[in-house]
Structures are given as structure tokens and as C-alpha cells.
Amino acid sequence: MSTQQHFISHRFYGLKPSSTLAINEQSKKLQSEGVEVTRLGLGQSPFPVPESVVEQLRQHAHEKDYLPVAGLEALREAIAAHLQKTRAVEFEAENIMVGPGTKELLYLLQVIYSGILLLPAPSWVSYAPQAQLAGTPTHWIPTTLSDGWRISAENLQQACLDNPGQRLIMILNYPNNPAGTSYSDEQLEKIARIARQYQVIIIADEIYWELSFSEQPGCLARHYPEGTIISTGLSKWCGAGGWRLGAFAFPKALFWLRDALAVIASETFSAVSAPIQYAAITAFNGNAEIDCYVSNSRKIMQAILQYTAEVLKAGAIDCAQAEGGFYVMADFSRYRMELQKNNICNGRQLCARLLNDTGIAALPGCDFGLDAEALVVRLAMVDFDGKEALIACENDYKDDAIDSAFMKSHMSKTWLAPKTMVEWIKSMK
């Protein structure tokens, strides 16, 4: 270790750049070198920001003042009204804290809260590294493919029993990144009963909630309002990942956490970009254009994810059916013997060979908390021109289901990827 490395906090040791961002940069580099790459690593929305929201950004580009740390009052009112309308949960502006992306808010909350973090395995790549940086111990709750990679009330209770007398906080993401599966209200009600019994604070990461395929998606705050913080933002359902605007909705019982978060926000990011906050008011207030945009986005993603699952399963690659968002988890375990004969013994080697042999960039399950030996790959099925797909959906498929002809024409690389994966694995000898 060099002398300079001794000055780095021990919490940083072993951490690497976010794997989703790293695979995106690697994919871009390969493309710049002339390599044909299907980019299924980074879960960035393929869809453009709705024009009415972009127009508001243009009109407020002159806004330069620091805004309140918690966020613009009108924006917090719009977010509260949006959550009340979509989730049937009572919120007002005072419940809302706006930040530069939910990623930053998630990290700062872990810095504030002294306790143990409960995480389902698998979970989004940044939850556990953020806990390490914050000095928060992590307890992984195992899940299985047969259960759709979901935790159960029994799993949660066991995790609580494994940590007697400890303060516990859990991040529950649904629809889930990396698996694409979600929870029904009935499942969340059972989880809520255990959380209430053991006083577990839950951050319900609902960043993909608006992209749920169910007409009545579950919402934990309906069943555990006093202990649930809803996490939402613009990055997924509004296509504005690079705008960096997220929000937490706190129940009154957790205003002590909201107040602490406001203090640390004032000493770190100060306030979210003013023009983006003004534009976000339109996004959360909604209009006919945005309603159509979200509906068609859902329709397109549901079609490609359902198709992907069908192709993979037909090729004996197991996966759970996605219920929202952008993702599918492909399990190659049935081919373990064939893969081992080709010196592929774990998920990281599997992804490396997949990229080298087929040009498909994806991430291994171990990046999301699964064992290193798990032959599981997460696919973000978003490598297509979302603007083109939305126009075609509205003009040509307004009253029709998305079919293979649509996907082949407007999502060709993404449409071809699962077929390529099946052909590749079946060629193993």
C-alpha cells in the first residue's frame, strides 16, 4: 500500500466504481473502437423527457437563486399531490424532501441513521456500498428465483430475530432492480405487520412504481404509513436520469429523520438545481401528454420484458416474469456443466464471455448481492431509441398490443439479444 493510501478512510477500502456506471463506460469505449455492443448493463430510461417538462426547463433556465434546502414549495406540493393521487396515501408539502437524485438522499439517510441495514438479495448495486461508506452494517435477506426474488414476511421476521435489540432499517425496491418483480398489496400487508412488530423503518424505493404493469400496484405506505419513507424521482418514469432530481416522502412519525436529513443536506448539496425544480412541477402535476407518455412507456416495456422471458425460458434459461421497470434476471444454472467445461464458473466470468462472444453487455448477479458462483445475469432491456418507439406506439399501435414486428422494427438490438443468448449457450459443448 502506498503512503498516500493510508490517508483514505478504511470505509472506502474494497469499493469500486458503481458497476452499472462502469459497464456503461466500458460499452461506450468498445463502441468507440468499432465493436458492436448491445448495451444491457445500465438501466437508463430509453425514453426522452416529455416535451412539456422540457419546455418548462427552457422557460426557467434563468432561475439562479438558491432554493430552500427541502425543495421548492410548489414542487413539494406537486409531489405530495402526485403520491396522494397515485398511491392513495395522504401527504402534504411538509412531508417531502427534494434532493439531487434519490441516490444522494439514500446515502445521506444512512449517514444519519444509526442501525443495521436490511437488504433483500438481490438488491440494487449501490445500496450496500453506500452502507459501507456510511459505516452501516448490512444484513442480507436471502430470496430465491422460485419466489420471484421477493422477500417474505417470514424472511423479514428471521432477519429481525437474527439482530435482537438492534435498530433496523430496510430498503425495499419495487418494481425491483435487478429482477423486475414487484409486490402485491397482500404481500406488502404481511411485510408491514412484521415491520411494525419489530419497529423496522422501511425506505420504499418506488422509483419504478409508475412503470408497474399491474393496474393496481402495491404500495407499502398504505399498510405501514407510520414507518415507511417513499422514495421517488424523475429518472425512470420521466426519462430524466441525468437531471438528478429525487424526493423522499416522510410520515409525520419520522419527521425527526426528515429534519436531520435537511440539516445534512444544508451542509452538502445545499439545494437542487433551480431550473430543474421548476420543470419538475409540471412532471409531477401531470397532463394529457405525460399520461400518454407513461402509458406507452409501460406498454413498450411490458412487451419487451414479456418477450424476453418467453425466449429465455424456451431456451432453458430461467427467469421470473417482470412486473414493471426495465429488467430481467437470467439464470443459466441449468447449463452449469457446459459453462464449466468452457472455464466459466461464476457470474462475472459469464458476463465477460457473453460480452466477448456476443457483444451483449450485462451485469452478474454478484453485483446485486448474490453469491459469486451464481450463474445469474441482469439484463436492462433498454438499448433502443425510445423516442422512435413512443411515436410508433402512439401512431401505429395505439389500440393494438405490441408484437414482434414492432419490436424487430423499433427495438431490433434489444429484441435480438435474448435469441442471441440462447443460441450462444446452446453452442456450448
Instruction: Give the residue from 249, 226, 240, 199 showing the smallest Cα distance to 87.
Output: 249
Compute the distance between CA of residue 14 and CA of residue 11 in angstroms, rounded to an integer. Answer: 8
| 145: pLDDT strictly greater than 80 | yes
Q: Domain segments of the chain: what residues?
A: 4-48+289-426, 51-286
Please determine, for residue 18, whether its predicted confidence score (pLDDT) is greater than 90.
Answer: no
Alpha-carbon Rg for the chain in angstroms: 21
The CA distance from 230 to 380, in Å, is 24
C-alpha cell at 210: 409508475
Asked if pLDDT for residue 20 goes beyond 60, the answer is yes
pLDDT for position 381:
98
pLDDT at site 33:
82
Per-residue model confidence as pLDDT tens digits over 34-77: 878 899 998 899 999 999 999 999 999 999 999 999 999 999 99
**Residue 270 in 3-state DSSP?**
coil
Identical fold at 4-48+289-426 and 51-286?
A: no
Work out the average pLDDT over 392-409: 95
The fourth-level CATH superfamily of domain 4-48+289-426 is Aspartate Aminotransferase, domain 1 (3.90.1150.10)
Class of domain 51-286: alpha beta
What's the average model confidence in pLDDT over 242-265?
97
| For residue 165, pLDDT beyond 80 | yes
Mind listing the pLDDT tens digit for each residue in 281-331? 999 999 999 999 999 999 999 999 999 999 999 999 999 999 999 999 999
Tens digit of pLDDT for each residue in 104-118?
999 999 999 989 999
- Cα angle 377, 382, 384 (rounded to 5 degrees) comes to 135
pLDDT confidence bin for 92, thresholds 50/70/90: very high
Cell digits of residue 402: 405490441
Long-range contacts at 309-316 (CB < 8 A, ≥ 24 apart): 311/418, 311/419, 311/422, 312/418, 312/421, 312/422, 314/422, 315/418, 315/421, 315/422, 315/425, 315/426
Q: Residue 27: what pLDDT?
A: 73
Burial class for 225, CB neighbours closer than 10 Å (0-12, 13-18, 19+)? middle
Residues 188, 192: Cα–Cα separation, whole Å: 6
The reported pTM is 0.94
Instruction: Report the alpha-carbon angle 153-154-157, nearest 5.
Output: 85
Q: Average pLDDT of 381-390?
A: 98
From the list 157, 211, 162, 154, the residue with the least C-alpha distance to 182 is 211
Mean pLDDT of 261-285: 97
Quick one: pLDDT band at residue 1, thresholds 50, 70, 90?
very low
